[in-house]
Structure 1
Amino acid sequence: MFYRPLWRELSLRGHQVTIITTDPMNDTSLTNLTEINTHVTYEALARHNILDAAAEASLGAAVSLLGGLLQDLTKTHFNVPEVRKLINSDAEFDLVMFETQIFAAPIVYSWRFKCPSIGVTSFDAAMEYHYNLGNLVHPVVNPDFNLYVKNTSHMSYFERVKSTVYSVLLNYYMYNYYYPIQEDVLRGFFGSTMPSLWEMTKNVSMLFIGTHPVLHDVRPINPHTITLSTIYLKPKKPLPTSIQQYLEESQNGVIYFSLGTNVKDNVFNSEKKNAILEAFAELPYNVLMKAHWVNIRIPKNVRMEKWLPQHDILRHKNVKLFITQGGINSLTESLSSGVPVLIIPFFGDQLTNTQKAIKMGYGLKLDKNLITTENVKEKVTTLIKNPKYRERANELGKILLDQPIRIV
């Protein structure tokens, strides 16, 4: 969804675009766009429940869990009838753009259709892509974005060792386990002459990465690596009438609460949910929550919805604070709106993003294991009452939006 503006613009400019996606746009105005729906791959994610299971697993068990998921994802993706029809057709393409995640199988389309490729990602690219495209990879200077480091600019000796060991293990498992698991499945569709995914990665022509020095540390990159952190930000739209009215009538201000799409409602037990809601009840602000917490008492100053137009809400003048899981897209939207953040990180780059927000001075961390009514109240009050956090968010937001994004 991060790159929808890219393929939308390509279609509007007359290019014939075929997109294989779990979430089709179904926009009939895009006459040059063909969408192949692979929404069924969500079922593979559900079967493995990787986000919950990996959090409780040992390193060995987590590696095995992820390997099983990648194998299932590859089978599910390439068994979609429309996908199989495409790869067995005589279609010709001038370019393949694929998502550079640990699920690397889609890079095979570039080999299948004998055309150049561009890797795209909504945050920083994984280390192996930087390495294979010739960007400087140094774990002591630029640790992988999925590795938790308290301050990447002033890493301790232990953190430097940890980052080095992590990079060695990551490359080992990618090269010897995660890629081969996907390759075994792929050769059933593309034949035994298919090269390794590692070799295909070396032939990638460009990287489009969703990062920015405001959100990540500065790193040396070659001209073929383009940062597009704000490409998906859209012009402001009118809010639904009831939401607009709720925000306008909240004279003391509003706290917006959302943990994104990958952190599910069951991530908190009833005790922690009650602690959060009790804290909200004792604060003088209204609260707008994107959540679906059932069988629980909702305070009078809290409004809960299953879905909300996040970026348009954040841009409302009465929004004082964003409580978030710390995903890079959420932080981009928050900074571009000049709203400070209270981050409850869970996994992946959220941990590093949290430390970056603290270091840059526009947010604080709320540990998911240390949630109490008093803890929530204290951090919310600090962020709203101390003007330096909002001032810093506004300052960094201006820098972020000053980056020119052009599709040429």
Structure 2
Amino acid sequence: MNVRVYLVICSVILNCFLINQVNCYNILGVFPFMGKSHFYVYDVYLKELARRGHNLTVISYFPQKQPLENYHDIDLGKGKSLFELNHPVSVSYAQALLSFAILQPIVGSYTCRQILDDEEVQDMILTQRKFDLVVAEQFNTDCPLAIAHLLDAPVVGITSYMLLPWHYPRYGVPYNPSYILYDVYHGGTKPTFLQRIVRSFSYQFINFLQKHICKHEDSVISHYYDNVPSVEELGRQVKFLLLYQNLVLAGSQILPPNVVEVGGYHIAQPKQLPADLQNFIDESKNGVIYISFGTILQGSSIKKEYFRAILDVVSELPQRVVWKWDKKLPQNIINIYSSKWLPQNDILSHPNVVAFFSHCGMLGTTEAIHHGVPVLGMPVIGDQFTNAAAIEEQGLGVQISYNSISKELLLEKFKIQVFAIAFRHCITLNIVAILPFHGRSHFIVQRVYLNELLRRGHNLTVISHFPEKSPPSNYYDVSLAENSTVFENSLLYRQSYVKFPLVSFNMLKYGRESCEVLLSNQNVQQLIRQKPKYDLAIVDQFNTDCGLGLAYKFNAPIVGISANGIMPWLYERFGVPYHPAYVPFQFVGGGRHPTVLQRFERSILNTYTKFIFYFSQKLEQLKVAKYLGDVPPLEEIAKDIKLLLVYNNFVLTGSDIYPSNIISVSGYHVPEAKEVTGDLKSFIEGATHGVIYISFGSLVKTSSLPDNIVTAIIHAISAMPQRFIWKWHNKSQVLDKNKVFIADWLPQIDILAFFSHGGLNGAVEALHYSVPILAFPILGDQPSNAASIEESGLGVQIQGHEITNETLVAALKKILDPQFRENVTRLSRAWHDRPISALNTAIYWTEFVARHPHLNYRNRVVDIPFYQYWCLDILCIYIAIILTFVCLLKIALKMYRIKHIVQDKKHTMKRSKQE
């Protein structure tokens, strides 16, 4: 991915935390780790911030050699030569745990004291220097968080690696040893039983240890400053974490939206190589293998027999070798160029470099991916095991264990596997979009996305109920409209948990009907017989999976698209964790703060909806077999969906924990507002106190609203000074035409001031145009949306049974309060503040799948057995260990008692004899 994209992401994210709308910010960066490879990443990020005009103060061990404008260094090393962290080549679980148990608290506490002892830092805190933001490294000490607290500044965390064990609970990321990549140890997303036990134990041990490290740091900080919360608590208040990884390497990871993947931004434009090195690589007819084991590892400490095996292999291979090595190599090897230092990024960018033999440090790994160079990984310590496993699983290279190095195995890895890896690119795509749902509100969203794909030159075949009247030449409609009616203004008012089973059952019934309409359509059948070649299939993810069977017949990679949030039955297929205590359930209220009753309801309804969807899917499978022939189970096809474009955003819906292949794209359907005309324009312009817009969407018949609710609305219209615009189908209703404008269709996005049913499209439009909402949820996802509207601060919600003349007027007055509207304006600014627009995001990831169809997008959790997901086998091991310990303890105590009984008897007999 382009380096500038990552830099834009990192820079723009900062704006989310700032109150004032200004161009330049005062930013404090605190980077307490003394490892050069870490700061090498941060340095690029910091210089880009400075280049964009922000004023930086940077606390680190690595001051700039040449002073930069608006960049001030606080040098923790004070010009002294730094101790370089070097590790001999050794692979040991015990060593890894020992380094955490000893080095982490010692080095972290030492660094914390150095920072707090610094006179410039003390002066900065004493004078309460104003910073808009603190960028804090998240590694071996949390001391920077205390500094941010003392300066009263929000914090953005930053890393140069993947998540560390203590980051998982800190940012609410679920950890499971059965499928999640784990720093320090082998196994990738497919660990063995032993590896899962080791991971489970080490995860608990390291987090237990981290709590004690935090307490130790708290005591260090309290020695300097009073009334500072614990660093553990401050860690949970970090706004964003810029995580140095990427979907291409790490696969689909389950992360909340405030953990942002930005891996790769350190990679600079390649520079000209030194003349002798340039000639050496240019003249290599069979390509070049680059070998480097990084800056931290001592390459010369590799065992002699392993070193000999590497030499024998590179001597036999026809490729030349460029080797970063800290000792002289044998003189008789003529195909090797070696040096203690080499410009790694520039070498990897050379087209003649065909492979990279590496320890799998994050920087080198990222550079290899960027330049398309396959990797042979030999991990030794730290996150190298994670990176090597990710490289192999993602098809970017292979790995070899340090302890298994041999000439034969190295030759096999190089010849058979590494040189076989290739990359595929495409420009103009042939895309089929399968959209079987007949709801217009969904297609309104999807149509904008499809039109943008057209505008970018792709060829589209669209199977839907909404054919274009004048389609362009690269748009081919397969219309389903002949055999269906549009799902619009067709539902009666319902607001009852008792009626929920009927509503959900009907929704899936409509799905099965859509399946029949889709597969039986003659144009669809003709399309199947033609066997067209598609680069990509876009399939609606709503109430039927029949579109997946059709995509399978077309043999195209699948991108899922949703015009709403994630339906309950989609969680498992994408590996999204569901928990009723904090994850909203789409069809009921409660938001992220449910009551006990609401949590109980969610648990029951979640199980119920999954069950009836499973039953419905089995019936659909029969239809698929009837019309399409031999097709795998639909749920198995669903697990191979590459990406899901979901229509939500954390600004409105809150922070959800999604894998990397679920992309939030909410908002792209909202165009620029057009000026209203005619009577409506005159009505709005005549509204001295503004306009409130009332609409209950396109699905519910507003004429079916209960009389008491209609009466309350009419009372509010009379009681409020504002004028009202009401989307209303009952023309017989007698209302004051000077106070209310009635129509059965209105240009919603042009006149928003909203009393709404809480539909997602309307909520997004209101947020886009900074208009508060009074949400009156009726059915479907509206209760969940209404809860999000209230929790985000976009508006308030009112339930049907709460509506009276007085409560409705009071609720409208609340959202019209100037302070409330000001909060909505701030929320809207955050909504618009994105590094890439929603539409560009959707298009980018769609094209990404077509460019990289064989990349592993699938989250490992969807494949692991039930007992592994819940770690039942590991739990059994723990229980067995505890029971064994208890039994041994009982045996020991019993033997101890027997021993004392025997001794007492002997003592008694002895006394008896003496007497």
Taking structure 1 as the reference length, what is the TM-score of the superposition? 0.84
**Residue pairs, 1:370-385, within 5 angstroms:** 370-383=404-417
Quick one: distance in 2 between partners of 1:366 and 1:11?
A: 41
Residue number in structure 2 paired with 1:174: 210
Cα deviation digits, residues 355-394 of structure 1 (max 9, x gap): 222222222222222333343333222245x52x234899
Residue number in structure 2 paired with 1:390: 422
Residue number in structure 1 paired with 2:236: 202
Deviation at 1:267, TM superposition (A): 3.1
Q: What is the DSSP-based 3-state SS (H/G/I as helix, E as strand, rest coil) of the residue aligned with 2:402?
A: coil
CA contact (8 A) 1:179 1:197 kept: yes
- Choose which of 47, 51, 60 in structure 2 pairs with 1:12: 51
Residue number in structure 2 paired with 1:126: 164
Deviation at 1:96, TM superposition (A): 0.5
CA contact (8 A) 2:87 2:297 kept: no
CA contact (8 A) 1:144 1:167 kept: no
Cα deviation digits, residues 157-205 of structure 1 (max 9, x gap): 5544443333322221111x222233333333x3243322101101111
Quick one: distance in 1 between partners of 2:115 and 2:309?
A: 41
Q: What is the DSSP-based 3-state SS (H/G/I as helix, E as strand, rest coil) of the residue aligned with 1:238?
A: coil
Deviation at 1:36, TM superposition (A): 2.2
CA contact (8 A) 2:288 2:320 kept: yes
Shift in alpha-carbon separation, 1:211–1:218, aligned structure 2, 3 A: same
Corresponding position: 1:263 with 2:277: no
CA contact (8 A) 1:44 1:69 kept: no
Quick one: distance in 2 between partners of 1:261 and 1:227?
A: 24
CA contact (8 A) 1:291 1:304 kept: yes
Which amino acid in structure 2 is aligned with residue 194 of structure 1?
Answer: V
Quick one: distance in 2 between partners of 1:302 and 1:328?
A: 25
Residue number in structure 1 paired with 2:674: none
Quick one: distance in 1 between partners of 2:375 and 2:236?
A: 38
- Choose which of 121, 137, 148 in structure 2 pairs with 1:99: 137
Residue number in structure 2 paired with 1:278: 312
Quick one: distance in 2 between partners of 1:77 and 1:266?
A: 34
Q: What is the DSSP-based 3-state SS (H/G/I as helix, E as strand, rest coil) of the residue aligned with 2:404?
A: coil
Q: What is the DSSP-based 3-state SS (H/G/I as helix, E as strand, rest coil) of the residue aligned with 1:326?
A: coil
Which amino acid in structure 1 is aligned with residue 265 of structure 2?
Answer: I
The farther-off stretch of 359-368 and 36-45 is: 36-45
Shift in alpha-carbon separation, 1:298–1:125, aligned structure 2, 3 A: farther
Corresponding position: 1:234 with 2:271: no
Measured on the aligned residues, the alpha-carbon RMSD in Å equals 3.3
Quick one: distance in 2 between partners of 1:71 and 1:123?
A: 21
Deviation at 1:50, TM superposition (A): 6.9
Deviation at 1:244, TM superposition (A): 1.5
Moved over 6 A (4+): 49-54
- Choose which of 152, 155, 163 in structure 2 pairs with 1:114: 152
Residue number in structure 2 paired with 1:31: 69
Which amino acid in structure 1 is aligned with residue 201 of structure 2?
Answer: V
Deviation at 1:301, TM superposition (A): 1.1
- Choose which of 163, 176, 182 in structure 2 pairs with 1:145: 182
Residue number in structure 1 paired with 2:382: 348
Shift in alpha-carbon separation, 1:45–1:105, aligned structure 2, 3 A: farther
- Choose which of 182, 186, 190 in structure 1 pairs with 2:221: 186
CA contact (8 A) 1:143 1:163 kept: no
From the CA coordinates, give the structure whose radius of gyration is larger.
2
Deviation at 1:246, TM superposition (A): 1.4
Shift in alpha-carbon separation, 1:241–1:50, aligned structure 2, 3 A: closer
| Identity within the alignment, % | 26
Which amino acid in structure 1 is aligned with residue 105 of structure 2?
Answer: G
Residue number in structure 1 paired with 2:108: 70
Give unpaired runs (5+ residues) of structure 2.
Answer: 1-39, 427-642, 644-659, 664-833, 838-915
Q: What is the DSSP-based 3-state SS (H/G/I as helix, E as strand, rest coil) of the residue aligned with 2:45?
A: helix
Q: How many residues align structurally?
A: 392
Q: What is the DSSP-based 3-state SS (H/G/I as helix, E as strand, rest coil) of the residue aligned with 2:72?
A: strand
Shift in alpha-carbon separation, 1:38–1:303, aligned structure 2, 3 A: farther
Corresponding position: 1:320 with 2:357: no
Deviation at 1:11, TM superposition (A): 1.1
Deviation at 1:353, TM superposition (A): 1.6
Which amino acid in structure 2 is aligned with residue 331 of structure 1?
Answer: T
Which amino acid in structure 2 is aligned with residue 7 of structure 1?
Answer: L
Shift in alpha-carbon separation, 1:39–1:278, aligned structure 2, 3 A: farther
Q: Which has the higher contact order (CA 8 A, sep 6+)?
A: 1
Shift in alpha-carbon separation, 1:184–1:149, aligned structure 2, 3 A: same
Which amino acid in structure 2 is aligned with residue 26 of structure 1?
Answer: K
CA contact (8 A) 1:118 1:208 kept: yes
Shift in alpha-carbon separation, 1:213–1:106, aligned structure 2, 3 A: same
Shift in alpha-carbon separation, 1:271–1:219, aligned structure 2, 3 A: closer
Shift in alpha-carbon separation, 1:75–1:45, aligned structure 2, 3 A: farther
Cα deviation digits, residues 250-270 of structure 1 (max 9, x gap): 112111011111112343144
The farther-off stretch of 88-97 and 251-260 is: 88-97
Q: What is the DSSP-based 3-state SS (H/G/I as helix, E as strand, rest coil) of the residue aligned with 1:91?
A: coil
